[in-house]
Protein backbone atom coordinates (compact mmCIF):
# COMPACT_ATOMS: atom_id res chain seq x y z
CA UNK A 1 0.00 0.00 0.00
CA UNK A 2 1.37 3.41 -1.03
CA UNK A 3 -0.01 6.77 0.12
CA UNK A 4 0.42 9.95 -1.91
CA UNK A 5 -0.71 13.58 -2.06
CA UNK A 6 -0.74 15.01 -5.56
CA UNK A 7 -1.23 18.00 -7.83
CA UNK A 8 -1.22 17.56 -11.63
CA UNK A 9 -1.73 19.73 -14.70
CA UNK A 10 -2.43 18.39 -18.23
CA UNK A 11 -2.03 20.15 -21.58
CA UNK A 12 -2.65 19.15 -25.19
CA UNK A 13 0.33 19.04 -27.55
CA UNK A 14 4.06 18.53 -27.09
CA UNK A 15 6.15 19.74 -24.15
CA UNK A 16 7.21 23.33 -24.94
CA UNK A 17 10.98 23.83 -25.12
CA UNK A 18 10.88 26.69 -22.61
CA UNK A 19 8.96 24.49 -20.17
CA UNK A 20 11.63 21.80 -20.45
CA UNK A 21 14.38 24.36 -19.82
CA UNK A 22 12.52 25.75 -16.79
CA UNK A 23 12.09 22.27 -15.33
CA UNK A 24 15.76 21.39 -15.68
CA UNK A 25 17.22 24.76 -14.68
CA UNK A 26 17.40 24.49 -10.89
CA UNK A 27 18.21 20.88 -10.05
CA UNK A 28 19.32 17.40 -11.18
CA UNK A 29 16.87 15.67 -13.49
CA UNK A 30 16.87 12.38 -15.33
CA UNK A 31 14.86 11.00 -18.24
CA UNK A 32 13.29 7.58 -17.82
CA UNK A 33 12.99 5.16 -20.76
CA UNK A 34 9.68 5.47 -22.57
CA UNK A 35 6.98 3.11 -21.29
CA UNK A 36 3.33 2.41 -22.04
CA UNK A 37 0.73 1.95 -19.30
CA UNK A 38 -2.80 0.70 -20.00
CA UNK A 39 -5.67 2.29 -18.06
CA UNK A 40 -9.14 0.84 -17.66
CA UNK A 41 -11.47 3.83 -17.80
CA UNK A 42 -14.49 3.49 -15.54
CA UNK A 43 -17.10 5.74 -17.19
CA UNK A 44 -18.25 8.45 -14.83
CA UNK A 45 -15.89 7.31 -12.05
CA UNK A 46 -13.11 9.73 -11.05
CA UNK A 47 -12.28 8.23 -7.66
CA UNK A 48 -10.54 5.05 -8.84
CA UNK A 49 -7.73 4.32 -11.28
CA UNK A 50 -6.99 0.83 -12.67
CA UNK A 51 -3.71 0.40 -14.54
CA UNK A 52 -1.65 -2.39 -16.09
CA UNK A 53 2.07 -1.65 -16.11
CA UNK A 54 4.66 -4.21 -17.23
CA UNK A 55 2.39 -7.07 -16.19
CA UNK A 56 1.58 -5.52 -12.82
CA UNK A 57 -1.94 -4.53 -11.82
CA UNK A 58 -2.16 -1.22 -9.93
CA UNK A 59 -5.33 0.19 -8.36
CA UNK A 60 -5.49 3.72 -6.90
CA UNK A 61 -8.38 5.04 -4.85
CA UNK A 62 -9.09 8.60 -3.81
CA UNK A 63 -8.78 9.16 -0.05
CA UNK A 64 -9.13 12.96 0.01
CA UNK A 65 -11.19 14.81 -2.61
CA UNK A 66 -9.58 17.57 -4.66
CA UNK A 67 -9.46 21.01 -3.09
CA UNK A 68 -8.36 24.25 -4.65
CA UNK A 69 -4.97 25.52 -3.49
CA UNK A 70 -3.21 28.76 -4.44
CA UNK A 71 0.57 28.55 -4.61
CA UNK A 72 3.34 31.09 -5.13
CA UNK A 73 3.07 33.34 -8.21
CA UNK A 74 -0.74 33.03 -8.06
CA UNK A 75 -0.60 29.51 -9.47
CA UNK A 76 -3.67 27.44 -8.67
CA UNK A 77 -4.23 23.70 -8.69
CA UNK A 78 -6.38 20.91 -7.28
CA UNK A 79 -4.70 18.94 -4.49
CA UNK A 80 -5.90 15.45 -3.60
CA UNK A 81 -4.69 12.27 -1.89
CA UNK A 82 -4.62 8.63 -2.96
CA UNK A 83 -3.83 5.11 -1.81
CA UNK A 84 -2.35 2.60 -4.26
CA UNK A 85 -2.20 -1.20 -4.24
CA UNK A 86 -0.04 -3.27 -6.63
CA UNK A 87 -0.21 -6.94 -7.56
CA UNK A 88 2.26 -9.01 -9.60
CA UNK A 89 -0.46 -11.31 -10.90
CA UNK A 90 0.15 -11.58 -14.61
CA UNK A 91 2.85 -11.26 -17.28
CA UNK A 92 3.25 -8.69 -20.02
CA UNK A 93 1.83 -10.92 -22.80
CA UNK A 94 -1.22 -11.81 -20.74
CA UNK A 95 -1.91 -8.23 -19.70
CA UNK A 96 -1.55 -7.08 -23.29
CA UNK A 97 -4.12 -9.66 -24.33
CA UNK A 98 -6.51 -8.40 -21.68
CA UNK A 99 -6.37 -4.94 -23.21
CA UNK A 100 -6.53 -5.93 -26.88
CA UNK A 101 -9.28 -8.52 -26.39
CA UNK A 102 -11.46 -6.50 -24.07
CA UNK A 103 -14.62 -4.60 -24.95
CA UNK A 104 -14.03 -2.35 -21.96
CA UNK A 105 -12.71 1.20 -22.53
CA UNK A 106 -8.94 0.83 -22.16
CA UNK A 107 -6.63 3.76 -22.93
CA UNK A 108 -2.95 3.16 -23.69
CA UNK A 109 -0.70 5.95 -22.42
CA UNK A 110 2.88 6.16 -23.64
CA UNK A 111 5.01 8.24 -21.27
CA UNK A 112 8.48 9.74 -21.40
CA UNK A 113 9.09 11.18 -17.94
CA UNK A 114 11.65 13.78 -16.92
CA UNK A 115 12.08 13.41 -13.15
CA UNK A 116 13.34 15.37 -10.17
CA UNK A 117 13.28 14.05 -6.60
CA UNK A 118 12.99 15.95 -3.31
CA UNK A 119 13.61 14.42 0.12
CA UNK A 120 11.24 15.39 2.93
CA UNK A 121 12.85 13.22 5.59
CA UNK A 122 14.13 16.22 7.56
CA UNK A 123 10.79 18.03 7.35
CA UNK A 124 12.25 20.51 4.86
CA UNK A 125 12.62 19.99 1.10
CA UNK A 126 16.11 18.89 0.03
CA UNK A 127 16.59 17.94 -3.60
CA UNK A 128 18.50 14.70 -4.20
CA UNK A 129 19.53 12.76 -7.27
CA UNK A 130 16.64 10.92 -8.95
CA UNK A 131 18.75 7.79 -8.54
CA UNK A 132 18.78 8.19 -4.75
CA UNK A 133 17.89 5.11 -2.75
CA UNK A 134 14.88 4.57 -0.49
CA UNK A 135 13.21 7.64 1.03
CA UNK A 136 10.68 7.37 3.85
CA UNK A 137 9.23 10.74 2.83
CA UNK A 138 9.70 12.69 -0.36
CA UNK A 139 8.18 14.20 -3.47
CA UNK A 140 8.65 13.14 -7.07
CA UNK A 141 8.27 15.92 -9.65
CA UNK A 142 7.57 14.87 -13.23
CA UNK A 143 7.46 16.62 -16.58
CA UNK A 144 5.94 14.00 -18.86
CA UNK A 145 5.47 13.77 -22.62
CA UNK A 146 2.37 11.69 -23.33
CA UNK A 147 0.80 9.92 -26.30
CA UNK A 148 -2.63 8.38 -25.66
CA UNK A 149 -4.84 6.12 -27.79
CA UNK A 150 -7.85 3.87 -27.27
CA UNK A 151 -8.22 0.11 -27.82
CA UNK A 152 -9.92 0.75 -31.18
CA UNK A 153 -7.07 2.98 -32.33
CA UNK A 154 -3.33 2.46 -32.44
CA UNK A 155 -0.13 4.38 -31.67
CA UNK A 156 -0.28 6.04 -35.08
CA UNK A 157 -3.56 7.68 -34.00
CA UNK A 158 -2.21 8.80 -30.64
CA UNK A 159 -3.12 12.22 -29.29
CA UNK A 160 -0.13 14.15 -27.87
CA UNK A 161 -0.35 15.60 -24.37
CA UNK A 162 2.05 16.62 -21.65
CA UNK A 163 1.78 17.02 -17.90
CA UNK A 164 3.50 18.53 -14.87
CA UNK A 165 2.94 16.69 -11.61
CA UNK A 166 3.98 16.72 -7.97
CA UNK A 167 3.49 13.47 -6.03
CA UNK A 168 4.47 13.50 -2.35
CA UNK A 169 4.70 10.33 -0.29
CA UNK A 170 5.32 9.32 3.32
CA UNK A 171 3.08 9.55 6.35
CA UNK A 172 -0.08 11.65 6.13
CA UNK A 173 1.36 14.79 7.73
CA UNK A 174 4.69 14.65 5.91
CA UNK A 175 3.22 14.27 2.47
CA UNK A 176 0.50 16.90 2.89
CA UNK A 177 2.76 19.61 4.35
CA UNK A 178 5.73 18.59 2.23
CA UNK A 179 3.82 18.81 -1.03
CA UNK A 180 3.02 22.49 -0.45
CA UNK A 181 6.64 23.27 0.48
CA UNK A 182 8.06 21.54 -2.59
CA UNK A 183 5.63 23.24 -4.96
CA UNK A 184 6.36 26.69 -3.52
CA UNK A 185 10.11 26.04 -3.90
CA UNK A 186 9.65 25.04 -7.54
CA UNK A 187 7.57 28.11 -8.32
CA UNK A 188 10.05 30.60 -6.89
CA UNK A 189 10.90 31.09 -10.55
CA UNK A 190 7.54 31.21 -12.40
CA UNK A 191 6.98 28.58 -15.10
CA UNK A 192 6.61 29.78 -18.69
CA UNK A 193 3.04 28.44 -18.99
CA UNK A 194 -0.13 29.25 -17.07
CA UNK A 195 -0.92 26.66 -14.41
CA UNK A 196 -4.51 27.02 -13.21
CA UNK A 197 -7.28 25.03 -11.60
CA UNK A 198 -8.86 24.56 -15.04
CA UNK A 199 -5.99 22.39 -16.30
CA UNK A 200 -5.35 20.71 -12.92
CA UNK A 201 -6.72 17.17 -13.24
CA UNK A 202 -6.19 13.77 -11.67
CA UNK A 203 -5.46 10.85 -14.02
CA UNK A 204 -9.04 9.47 -13.77
CA UNK A 205 -10.53 12.88 -14.58
CA UNK A 206 -8.16 13.36 -17.54
CA UNK A 207 -8.89 9.86 -18.89
CA UNK A 208 -12.63 10.56 -18.91
CA UNK A 209 -11.95 13.15 -21.63
CA UNK A 210 -10.39 10.53 -23.90
CA UNK A 211 -13.25 8.02 -24.14
Q: Does residue 53 sit within a domain?
A: no
Domain membership of residue 144 as a residue range: 2-36+66-80+111-208
pLDDT at 102: 58
- pLDDT at 28 exceeding the cut of 90: no
Torsion sign, CA atoms 165, 168, 169, 172: negative
pLDDT in tens, 82-109: 999 998 765 545 555 555 555 678 999 9
Q: Does residue 176 sit within a domain?
A: yes
Q: Does residue 49 sit within a domain?
A: no
pLDDT at 211: 81
Q: Does residue 46 sit within a domain?
A: no
Q: Does residue 85 sit within a domain?
A: no
pLDDT at 149: 94
What is the tally of structural domains in the chain?
1
- pLDDT at 155 exceeding the cut of 80: yes
Count CB-CB contacts under 10 A for residue 10: 19
For the chain, the average pLDDT equals: 90
Q: Does residue 10 sit within a domain?
A: yes
pLDDT in tens, 163-202: 999 999 998 888 999 999 999 999 999 999 999 999 999 9
Q: Does residue 196 sit within a domain?
A: yes
Amino acid sequence: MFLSAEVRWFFKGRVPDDMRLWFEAAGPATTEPQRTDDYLVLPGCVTTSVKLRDGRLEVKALTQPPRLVTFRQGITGLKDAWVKWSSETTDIDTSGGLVRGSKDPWISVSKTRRLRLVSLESGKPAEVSPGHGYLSAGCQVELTAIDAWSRTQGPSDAAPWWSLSFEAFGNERAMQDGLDLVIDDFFEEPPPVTLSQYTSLSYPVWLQQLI
